[in-house]
């Protein structure tokens, strides 16, 4: 994480995402802009929560870990999204692990200033309420879809999510083959079944295995396979 000392850029993000009416007065003075590199962890499940982050550029991956050590993908997030909102309201530690899929810019404000200047701010409270209710709606929708769709659809959707960022056309991600076990856990299948589906994708010209990574070769074909991206 690196703080970006550029107030003009911060103000630009505030305007672009219509946050100027939400973070007013003293709250604005305590907002900071941060950069996270691709693959960098923003927070881990169980970490103490102390900062509210607002995603204004890039893509995030959110996942959780079971008691048995398995990981399960929850969703991918694009702007505008908030990290740490539920934890702020509930006063809990971080519920999930959040990782930057692409280079990410996030606004951040410590909980201490939110409690001091935001607890009686109707616009801020309404903003948090809308964000939180949207999260629970999408989570319910995702859980149903993830159970209903075959592995081919889930894997196509996952590959699209990690390989492309609509807000940054220059970004092209890859899936390392050493992460295939984690990928199988993420989408809820076995490593063997995942390999079989990947082999089929390669035969069909959708993907290519090269030098330890999986590359998307036919984005349109993979999108058709995914039907719609169930992880975003």
Range from 12-21, 58-67, 176-185 carrying the lowest mean pLDDT: 176-185
Mean pLDDT confidence for 188-195: 91
Report the pLDDT value the prediction gives residue 64, as an integer from 0 to 100: 85
Apex 60 CA angle, 167 and 174, nearest 5: 80
| pLDDT over 80 at 195, yes or no | yes
Measured CA to CA, the distance from residue 180 to residue 160 in angstroms comes to 15
64 token code pair: 């959780």
73 band by pLDDT with thresholds 50, 70 and 90:
confident
Arithmetic mean of pLDDT, 204-223: 90
Per-residue pLDDT for 207 more than 90? yes
Tokens 């089929």 -> residue: 200
């Amino acid at each position: 994480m690196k703080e970006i000392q550029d107030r003009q850029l911060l103000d630009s993000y505030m305007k672009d995402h219509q946050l100027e009416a939400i973070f007013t007065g003293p709250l604005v003075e305590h907002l900071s802009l941060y950069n996270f590199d691709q693959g960098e962890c923003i927070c881990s499940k169980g970490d103490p929560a102390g900062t509210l982050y607002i995603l204004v550029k890039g893509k995030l991956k959110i996942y959780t870990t079971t008691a048995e050590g398995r990981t399960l993908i929850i969703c991918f997030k694009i702007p505008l999204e908030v990290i740490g909102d539920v934890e702020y309201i509930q006063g809990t530690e971080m519920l999930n692990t959040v990782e930057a899929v692409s280079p990410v810019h996030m606004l951040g404000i410590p909980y201490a200033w939110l409690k001091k200047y935001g607890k009686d701010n109707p616009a801020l409270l309404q903003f948090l309420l809308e964000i939180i209710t949207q999260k629970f709606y999408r989570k319910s929708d995702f859980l149903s879809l993830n159970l209903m769709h075959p592995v081919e659809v889930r894997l196509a959707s996952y590959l699209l999510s990690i390989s492309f960022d609509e807000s940054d056309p220059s970004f092209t991600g890859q899936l390392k083959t050493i992460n295939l076990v984690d990928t199988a856990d993420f989408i809820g299948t076995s490593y063997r079944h995942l390999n079989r589906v990947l082999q089929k994708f390669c035969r069909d010209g959708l993907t290519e295995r090269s030098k330890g990574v999986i590359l998307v070769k036919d984005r349109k074909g993979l999108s058709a396979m995914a039907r719609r991206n169930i992880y975003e």
